[in-house]
Amino acid sequence: MRLLDIITQQALRSVAVVGLAKNAGKTVALNSLIRQAAERGLALGLSSVGYDGEKIDFVSRLAKPRIDVEAGTVIATAAATLERATAPLEIIATTNFVTALGEVMLVRAREGGSVEVAGPDSYREMGVCIARMQELGCELILVDGALDRVGGAAPTLTEGAILATGAVAGSSLGRILSRTLHMVHLFSLPEVVHRELRVAATGAIEAGRILLFTAEGERTLPFRTALGHAAAVVDCLPLVEPCYLIVPGAINESLLSELANRPRLCRNVVLICQDPTHIFSWPEVWQKYTGCGGRVEVLKHIRLLAVTVNPTAPRGRSYPPAEFAREIALSLLPLPVFDLFISDRAVGV
Amino acid sequence: MRPWSEQSAVLGLSYFFTSLNPASPYGRAQLTRLVPYVPGEEALLEEELLAVGLFVTLLESSASDARLAKVRHHLAQIPDWREQFNRVAAGGTLSDAELFTLKQNLFFFADIKNLLAEEPTLVADFAPPDFSALMALLDPEKTGSPSFYLSDAYSPRLAAIRRHIRDERKEATRLSLTLQEKAARTVALAFNFSGEVTVPRREVKVIAGLEESGLFALSRETYTDLSYTRKPTAQEVAKAAHIETQKRLEHEEEEKVRRQLAEDIRPSLPLLGQAMARLGRLDLTLSKALLARRWRGTRPSIVSGDRPLQFSMTAARHPEVEAALRAEGLEFTPIGVTLTRGVTVITGANMGGKTVALGTVGLLAALAAYGMYVPAEACRTSLFQGITLLTGEYRPGASGLSRFGQEIVNLNQSLPAGQSRSLLLIDEFAASTNPREGSALAQALVEHLDQTESITMLTTHYERLARLGAVAHWQVVGLSQVPSAVLAQALAAAGSDAINHLSKLMDYRLFRVEPSEAHSREALRVARFLGLPESIVERALSLLQVKGEE
């Protein structure tokens, strides 16, 4: 089975490719998907999203990634990248979304060639671009997306996601495995099901107010986020009664630690946040929290389709490819894992 | 005399400019250049008011209203092409993105032209010209789509180069695939999709075979593996170089086409400029009409320049104050007043809206001069060489002057020359100095201004000004119409909410006072209402009676 097969089998129309760290092989995954889509004659749409630090190489001031496209591909990218494309481009529409590289334009490659892709800065704008590329007839839209530090991320906009991980993600195989597993685990956190709770949580997150939800009723806490006052927030929790704590913005390590240090409270509370990209925690703190019985639910989880691995880090460290890929594939079973440097077929275990 | 623009903020014109909110970049550009009509331009102003009136009338029909809403929607989407316009005019070229925005402009021009075709009264002055020739230039493939592509149709040479590149690329891919398959068979290894083979270091024999074949070059290595790519053959290298050259030629030809396009666009610039100006005017005039509707405005009637100065308004409102009041659940009381050459004095209760009345006169006179409908039931005004509002608003320390000092300096800058036809609005002149000198100064000022060609409106507490012979006297109705019993009852109920109650009882309208009418005791009623101890109010009343008897 190839990477694209996973997408087409589930009839997904948009997929984000995100990296666990820089140089984890995101662009390789993207190029491989583009090639496979071209072979199958899929009408493709392409873009990238994230803040400029992630989209532009600071040394060269060039947008990354630079991607080879076939004739017919639609791309949402900033005006300044158009002149550096080797593919002749037809300009279809403007978007009014302005970035450091100019306004984001919707263009179509009239011949094959390479283009730099630098899409919109915000996730709301990316959502609009995806919709417009679909209107233009794109059957599959691929988004190069950062898992960035400021709320929201590409995978929550698309129907599915592919995670790139590799030797750059940690100093040892164990470390890489634990970080990858951790991220895969976060992606698949359960979604809030209870209808009333969903309504309350959506409202509180939109309003930017921490909300305590119990069988007795709802109580808005006097905080806009948990950042900076984890202890004060935890002090507001009821001692025995089970409750949901809805957290707008990020759930960070200080909140998780604070709860883990009070195991009795920890067992009674379920934290709720927007989506998995709003949880900022290393595996250790997370495990301590869940170890105490702590739980987290999200309004929207991420449908992870596959993981790609890159056994080589650009500076030095690397692992034997076959063993590395197999090791990760084993620990992620049944999730398909690919080492695209070796083969476009999933790693067998 | 101060120029008009400096008075914009004081007169409340910034609220007007913000509320106008033209939709297109061309309308906004015209808004920044908007200047008031001055004496001598009465006929031009009438034309402008007629144009606004045309739109106001159209907006009353629901079909035209819907059509103009569509026009405005299109106007809002037109991308600004002024910078590119100037570049082409200066002999520059345009990028594909800039050619695309020109095409977008043409599409919107055509859409608006079609909509306006349904409005015979607007076509002559506002419809953009026809651009089908220019459109054909930007749509060589005749797709009718608003997208832009530097198409093969622009240049047979470009078409040939591109075709050649396409064929060469196909050929190169086929060649390298063939060679790759052959190489893979030779060493019995598979390539990954980026054209690499990876071999563990321990497979010494395989590696030796790779090296010996002479077909491979080491591309990267790790502790455990070696990766090789196929060495391109001389034929492949030559082909790649050839494609590079062709790409360069393509690029050069594209540049040539862009230069030629700019050349071909240049003759259309005057027409484009005309279209931008027309749409800017359309946008701005439509914005005025929409605002006139929102403000329930009326067309001011303009007094001819050879008649004596005159200003009158009936049931006028100050939209900014009205909006602020509405936000607090209060209503604005429309006011009316008539002013003629010479001095008009306004007296009346504290908190009775004298300052707002002054501001409303200034605003309406200014709006009319900007060719705008005014928020009133009726308004008749001359054009003024200057409109000045002296509010006595004072920021301590800002100028190093005392309140009185600053007032005098401001007045000095604004005093109209004898023949100047200006509108001068003065709020509480010399109220902050001692009353004896203050009222003497004010009287002297009034006598001076009465000799000029201008209209002066002055609010004051100095009753002696109102009794001067030549002066017209108006007064705020205030609390005088409220029966004492009602006032007493409200007084009892008011408590901490006195200000709110007061504004509900206060009658803000102005009325003309005949010379014989007695003056009011409004200040004492207000003071009492706001809770000043009764003993003090009583004492003040008795002092007034003593003075009156003297």
How many CB atoms are located within 10 Å of the residue B529 CB?
23
Instruction: Tell me, yes or no, whether A343 lies in a domain.
Output: no
pLDDT 10s digits, B202-247? 899 999 988 898 889 998 777 778 889 999 999 999 999 999 999 9
Mark yes or no for CB contact A79/B97 under 8 Å: yes
A272 shares a domain with A179? no
A130 shares a domain with A83? yes
- Do the Cβ atoms of B427 and B345 come closer than 8 Å? no
A128 shares a domain with A211? no
Distance of CA B9 to the CA centre of its chain: 14
Average pLDDT over chain B, rounded to whole?
Answer: 87
Q: Which residue among A112, A318, A342 places its CB closest to the CB of B222? A: A318
pLDDT at B272 over 90: yes
Instruction: Tell me, yes or no, whether A182 lies in a domain.
Output: yes
Q: Is the dihedral of CA B397, B400, B403, B407 positive or negative?
A: negative
Task: List, in order, residues 6 or more apart from A314 with CB less than 8 Å away.
Answer: A23, A168
A160 shares a domain with A96? yes
A88 shares a domain with A137? yes
- Do the Cβ atoms of A272 and A201 come closer than 8 Å? yes
Mark yes or no for CB contact B192/A341 under 8 Å: yes
Token digits of residue B78 = 């037109």
**CA-to-CA separations, B223 to A340, A347, B202, B369, B488, in angstroms, rounded:** 19, 21, 11, 84, 99
Residue B511 contacts A, CB cutoff 8 Å: no
Instruction: Tell me, yes or no, whether A349 lies in a domain.
Output: no
H helix or E strand, kind and range, residue B425:
strand B422-427
pLDDT value of residue B495: 63
Residues of A in contact with B96 (CB under 8 A): 82-83, 89, 91
DSSP conformation letters of B461-529:
S-HHHHTSTT-EEEEEEETTTS-HHHHHHHHHHHGGGHHHHHHHH-EEEEEEPPTTSPPP-HHHHHHHH
Residues of A in contact with B148 (CB under 8 A): 90-91
> Helix count (H) and strand count (E) of chain B?
22, 13
Residue B147 contacts A, CB cutoff 8 Å: yes
Mark yes or no for CB contact A343/B192 under 8 Å: yes
Residues of B in contact with A112 (CB under 8 A): 169
pLDDT mean over B501-525: 73
Instruction: Return d(Cα A314, Cα A336) in angstroms, integer.
Output: 24
Q: Which of B102, B138, B149, B245 to mutate to test the interface with A (most CBs of A within 10 A)?
A: B149
Domain range annotation of chain B: 17-147+258-293, 156-237, 297-519
If you count residue pairs, one on A and one on B, with CB atoms under 8 Å apart, how many are there? 75
Interface of B with A in 68-87 (CB under 8 A): 79
Instruction: Tell me, yes or no, whether A347 lies in a domain.
Output: no
Instruction: Tell me, yes or no, whether A345 lies in a domain.
Output: no
Strands A160-166 and A304-310: parallel
Instruction: Tell me, yes or no, whether A288 lies in a domain.
Output: yes
Residue B100 contacts A, CB cutoff 8 Å: yes
> Helix count (H) and strand count (E) of chain A?
12, 18
What percent of chain B lies above the pLDDT cut of 90? Answer: 53
pLDDT value of residue B390: 86
Question: What are residue B134's phi and psi, to 5 degrees?
Answer: -65, -40
pLDDT value of residue B460: 86
Amino acid A242 reads P
Task: List, in order, residues 6 or more apart from B260 with CB less than 8 Å away.
Answer: B154
pLDDT value of residue A55: 53
Site of tokens 């007034």: B544
Exposure string of B481-498, with b = 16+ CB inside 10 Å and e = fewer, is ebeeeebeebbeebeeeb
pLDDT value of residue B516: 58
Instruction: Return d(Cα B487, Cα B484) in angstroms, integer.
Output: 5
Residues of A in contact with B222 (CB under 8 A): 311-312, 318-321
How many CB atoms are located within 10 Å of the residue A84 CB?
12
A150 shares a domain with A237? no
A49 shares a domain with A27? yes
A248 shares a domain with A323? no
pLDDT value of residue B549: 43
Mark yes or no for CB contact B193/A112 under 8 Å: no
- Classify residue A9 as exposed, middle or buried by CB count within 10 Å of its CB (0-12, 13-18, 19+): exposed
Interface of B with A in 156-215 (CB under 8 A): 162, 165-166, 169, 190, 192-194, 196, 198, 200
Mark yes or no for CB contact B147/A312 under 8 Å: no
Mark yes or no for CB contact A342/B194 under 8 Å: no
pLDDT 10s digits, B422-439? 999 998 887 777 888 888
Instruction: Tell me, yes or no, whether A171 lies in a domain.
Output: yes
Return the CATH architecture of domain B297-519: 3-Layer(aba) Sandwich (3.40)
The residue ranges of DSSP E strands in B84-204, in sequence order, are 196-200
Instruction: Return d(Cα B307, Cα B341) in angstroms, integer.
Output: 11
B142, B150, B68, B77: which is closest to B107 by C-alpha? B77
Whether the bond into A334 is cis, omega within 30 of 0: yes
Domain containing residue A85: CATH number: 3.40.50
**CA-to-CA separations, A199 to A205, A214, B57, B331, in angstroms, rounded:** 10, 14, 48, 39
Which carries the bigger pLDDT value, residue A313 or residue A257? A257
- Do the Cβ atoms of B40 and B306 come closer than 8 Å? no
pLDDT at B73 over 90: yes
Residue A342's closest chain B neighbor by CA? B192
- Domain residues for the domain of A316 are 3-188+302-338
pLDDT mean over B437-459: 88
A179, A184, A180, A181: which is closest to A282 by C-alpha? A179
Confidence of residue B499 (pLDDT cuts 50, 70, 90): low
pLDDT at B106 over 80: yes
**CA-to-CA separations, A66 to A63, A77, A84, A114, A129, in angstroms, rounded:** 7, 12, 10, 7, 19
pLDDT 10s digits, A281-332? 999 999 999 999 999 999 998 999 999 998 887 766 778 888 889 999 999 9
A166 shares a domain with A26? yes
pLDDT value of residue B510: 86
Amino acid B122 reads L
Instruction: Tell me, yes or no, whether A165 lies in a domain.
Output: yes
Token digits of residue B400 = 């190093």
- CATH code of the domain made up of B17-147+258-293: 1.10.1420.10
Q: Which residue among B104, B149, B254 places its CB closest to the CB of A90? A: B149
pLDDT at B547 over 80: no
Residues of B in contact with A28 (CB under 8 A): 194
Mark yes or no for CB contact B224/A342 under 8 Å: no
pLDDT at B519 over 50: yes
**CA-to-CA separations, A269 to A203, A242, B135, B196, in angstroms, rounded:** 19, 6, 65, 52
Residues of B in contact with A325 (CB under 8 A): none
- Classify residue A91 as exposed, middle or buried by CB count within 10 Å of its CB (0-12, 13-18, 19+): buried
User: How many structural domains is chain A composed of?
Assistant: 2
pLDDT at B22 over 90: yes
Residue B225's closest chain A neighbor by CA? A320
A115 shares a domain with A45? yes
